[in-house]
Chains A and B, each alone.
Chain A
Amino acid sequence: MKRRATASVFAVLLLWSSPALAWDPFPEDGDNTPPQGEREPDPVPFIAPPPGIYYVTDTYVADVVTSTGTLTTYSTTTVHESTGSYARVLDMVGTGASSAFDGSAFNGRRTLGDGRSVAGTYYENYVLGADGFVPVSIVFFQDDAELARLLAAVPVPAVNTPAPSIPATASPTARPSPPACCGTERPTIASPTLAPARPIQPRISLLPLGAPVAMLEVLRGRAVSLYPRAFVGDREIPVRSWTVIGGDAGDALVTAGSGAVAFRTSWRRLAPPGAVFEVVFRIEVDTPETGHRTIDTAIAVVVRSPALER
């Protein structure tokens, strides 16, 4: 009897069953689970830039070869303007050194008087398109100099050549034949002595006319301006341009500039314990006294941050 009653109760409950009338308090929100494969495209997709890329602020104009006395300088002129392009250093080559990018620069790479290739730097230019940074060209910034080959102007006497038939009345312009004893000896020619270049002392200061400093203690995040300068003896000579070629430049906006422009930067992180940051500058001078020369100098930077002692 009990079994029948229990079965009847279950049967009645099954017959009366109906879907639960659940109430959705946020019906307008729709389905919370996003459909797979229908994600909205990223409106500003992240485009990883090539390593070492920077925004171009000085644009290539032309290769320049200038001669001052015996010195021939190979340089590159730029104009301080931005075309909206980017660039990065591909290779820095020394005099005569070959590079994998030889022949790829649109402006070529010159050679010195002895046939060796000039020193300089290969840059690759980029434009930022919808698909990221697109390489557009390679340019070579030459930076070299050589002394004129004075030996070429010195007449070399005839060596070990058969004596020409000398007429009875020798012409005043005829060369005398060397004596038999010395016909195979190469005459020595004294090499021309050039005046030794006066040494240039590079310096770094925090003011245009301030005292040079070799070490800098600066607070973290504090902006400082460094002025690369050059001296010959006690006299300051104008700096044509400077470039940061090594070390930790901090959060600098530009790492190269003319002599009148300061290198402005700040450091937001500390060096490892016991270490200091070092910034290496390459200073370019070009005066009648010194000629076109580049010199390197470095400054040590200690970044400090206020901290509680107790």
Chain B
Amino acid sequence: MVLTIVLAPLLLVTLAGVLQLGALRVAAARVRAAADLATLVAVNDQDDAELARSGRLRLSADAVDVAREYFARELELSSALLGSAPDEIAAAADVAAYPAAPAHDAWTGARYDRPTVRIAAHVPVKTPVFGALAFRPVTTIDVLSVSSPR
């Protein structure tokens, strides 16, 4: 009886921590999927004028805006998990479009051989159990998504 009373809080804390870690992984996966979808949508938009002029594939001039807009839209579906508003997260994200290849990405140091859209964002995610356990109540997830047409 005494042993149960002593160990029960410890077991409950451990269980809550495990559940919070699982929820954090789910949130990270959803945030990463949101960034991936946003970059894919942005790349899937071709510059018509350049296509007619040279036949080459170049990104549309508003690729950055499209990527940011769709990043916010996708995050909206997981807003209950986020520590900030989706629009604010998308607005603060570093979205870059490289319409002509080859290009060099100063953020990642990567070289792109085809038109590319890149999203790098810090997404705050609520972790209330960690907060109750003397950790931070909001955990920041760094997400990086790069897409180009193959």
Contact = CB atoms under 8 A, between A and B. Distances in A.
A305 B149 CA distance: 5
A122 B57 CA distance: 40
B40 A218 contact: no
A218 B148 contact: no
Contact of B57 (A218, A270, A308): A218
Interface in B35-52: 36, 39-40, 43-44, 46, 51-52
Given A218-B51, A219-B149, A304 B39 contact: no
Given A219-B149, A222-B46, A304 B57 contact: yes
A306 B44 contact: yes
B55 A213 contact: yes
B148 A306 contact: yes
Contacts of B150: 270, 304-307
Interface stretch (A163-171, A204-212, A280-288): A204-212
Contacts of A207: 52
B115 to A, nearest CB: 9
B46 A307 contact: no
Nearest to A215: B55
A62 to B, nearest CB: 38
Interface string A216-239: 111100101000000000000000
Contacts of A302: 57
Nearest to B53: A211
Q: Classify chain A: how many residues form its interface, as a range.
A: 20 to 34
Contacts, number: 65
A253 B144 CA distance: 41
Contacts of A215: 55
B55 A216 contact: yes
Nearest to A222: B46
Contacts of A206: 51-52, 55
Interface string A288-310: 00000000000000101111111
Given A211-B52, A211-B53, A308 B147 contact: yes
A214 interface: yes
Q: Classify chain B: how many residues form its interface, as a range.
A: 20 to 34
A42 B114 CA distance: 50
B43 A306 contact: yes
B147 A309 contact: yes
B39 A217 contact: no
A310 B145 CA distance: 6
B54 interface: yes
Interface in A64-110: none
Contact of B146 (A213, A216, A270, A310): A310
A219 B55 contact: no
A305 B57 CA distance: 11
Interface of B: 36, 39-40, 43-44, 46, 51-57, 110, 112, 114, 116, 144-150
Given A213-B55, A216-B55, 15 more contacts: A206-B52, A210-B52, A211-B54, A213-B54, A217-B55, A219-B44, A304-B57, A304-B149, A305-B149, A306-B39, A306-B44, A307-B40, A308-B40, A309-B110, A309-B147
6 contacts: A213-B54, A213-B55, A214-B55, A217-B56, A219-B46, A308-B146
